[in-house]
Amino acid sequence: MNVLRFAFRTLAKTPFLTGLAVLSLGLGIGANGAIFSLFDQILLRPLPVTEPQQLVNLSAPGPKSGSTSCTSEGSCEDIFSYAMFKDLQGAETGLSGIALHRTFGANLATTESTTSGAGLLVSGNYFSLLGVQPELGRLLGPTDDEQFGGHPVAVLSYRYWERQLGQDPSVLNSTIVVNGQPLTVIGVATSDFDGTTLGFRPDVFVPVTMRAALTPGWDDFDNRRNYRFYLMGRLPDGVSIEQAGLAINLVYSSILNEVEAPLQEGMSDNGLERFKARQIVLEDGFRGQSSIQSSAGAPLSFLLGVTGLVLVIACANIANLLLARGAGRAREMAIRGSMGASSSPERVALLMIQPSPRLGARPPECTGGLPLYPELSCAPVSLFSFYSASPWPPPRLPRIATTSIRRRLQMRPFCRSVVPLGLAKPSTCRARSASRQIKGFRSPQRKRPEMSSIT
């Protein structure tokens, strides 16, 4: 506590330096914390699902003749037709499963309220592929998308269930109207799952086979030239992306050449060759699938680097300030050395370093393996300033490390220096001879001058 009290007293003696250091550290750490939080949420944080590192996103770059529709889930290079999805799902592709998803705008109506929200069309194996568990009831299963328009069921998101329905458990088996289509609520997704698209939080999950009922006039499930669905898969244990890519492209190339190539009407010979040469590309899907990640990756990385440079500059400025302050304490270090502090230089170093962690919030884990003085590991700048600006032993006291001076040495000039600094009590500084406190010291006998006789 004495060292801590001394640290705060030292900071209070230089309010301008303390305020400037705190402001610099606050701006640097705050900016880095904010940017890194955004960087982590968009580019680093995995989906809250079972083993997200095994998820992959499917894309098929190349020419597509027909109707294409893209959303924020990805680019138009990433979309497939529903017929192609069913072909890949039923073949040996080297993946343990392939699921489909597609966002859509939804008007949601219950007995309590009517709101405008968002929905997600998914295949029946969507939740089982991700390993998501229900919060209430059950989730969609493979039997919920076997027949077009024959499964009017829905799963609510936890956020919608909490905000609009007040977490009412009686919502199970009730009816919710989505875009004019009555659907039966069969369950609620877990609280930490908001879909697989960054920036899109669906309120309701609906089987993809209900697409025609939700969008009157649309019935292109069998149209292989209608591209609008995004696919994701899961790697089996011990299978790499490259191995799975080779296996799925064997099936995909066969379907392109034998089934879809003859349907490409009006395509030139060059375009048809490029169409047949298309390959499925598997990419890491642990973060889900979103166009935001590809467009914001470079700007966020640059911004994080800039804020990191600002923090480095702030630390360099504070280091200069601490060096200047350490140089100004040379006299204090000399006095401490003369009082016998040379026998324990680590405590003097602690006094120099202790104020630095108080300039900012020291995290609990910042110990650096120093159980006795954890502050030493959190203040490398002060440690550098201690050894560079105020070296120990002080250079102005020659041979102090080999000199033994008693603790209660009481010389008047010495007391005048240490009492104002609080390093000695006034009661110990009495008007006594300093020579009496030095062991083995004997004052030399004053030699009287010889008187010459006057003749």
Task: Tell me the average pLDDT across 109-115.
Answer: 87
Q: How far apart are CA 249 and CA 88, in angstroms?
A: 10
**Single-letter code of the amino acid located at 139:** L
Picking from 257, 246, 288, the residue whose alpha carbon sits closest to that of residue 94 is: 246
**pLDDT for the residue numbered 2:** 66
Residue pair 65/341 in contact by the 8 Å Cβ criterion: no
Which residue reads 């900071």 in tokens? Answer: 11
- Give percent of the chain with pLDDT exceeding 90: 40
Residue 229 belongs to what H/E stretch?
A: strand 229-234
Q: Poorest-confidence range of 175-184, 290-299, 310-319, 357-366?
A: 357-366
Given a cut of 60, whether residue 183 has pLDDT beyond it is yes
Which residue reads 């642990």 in tokens? Answer: 286
Mean pLDDT of the chain: 78
- What is the token pair recorded at 115? 């709101």
Q: How far apart are CA 301 and CA 310, in angstroms?
A: 14
**pLDDT for the residue numbered 323:** 78
Each residue's pLDDT tens digit, 165-179: 999 999 999 999 999
Q: How far apart are CA 346 and CA 387, in angstroms?
A: 12
Residue pair 256/267 in contact by the 8 Å Cβ criterion: no
Most trustworthy range by pLDDT among 21-25, 36-40, 328-332: 36-40
Label residue 52 by pLDDT band (50, 70, 90): very high
Q: Which residue has the higher pLDDT, 230 or 268?
A: 230
Q: Which residue has the higher pLDDT, 58 or 24?
A: 58
Q: How far apart are CA 445 and CA 196, in angstroms?
A: 96
Each residue's pLDDT tens digit, 406-428: 444 344 444 544 444 444 455 54
Task: Flag whether the pTM goes above 0.85.
Answer: no
Task: Tell me the average pLDDT across 19-37.
Answer: 86
Given a cut of 50, whether residue 401 has pLDDT beyond it is no
- Give percent of the chain with pLDDT exceeding 70: 73
Each residue's pLDDT tens digit, 325-340: 777 777 777 777 777 6
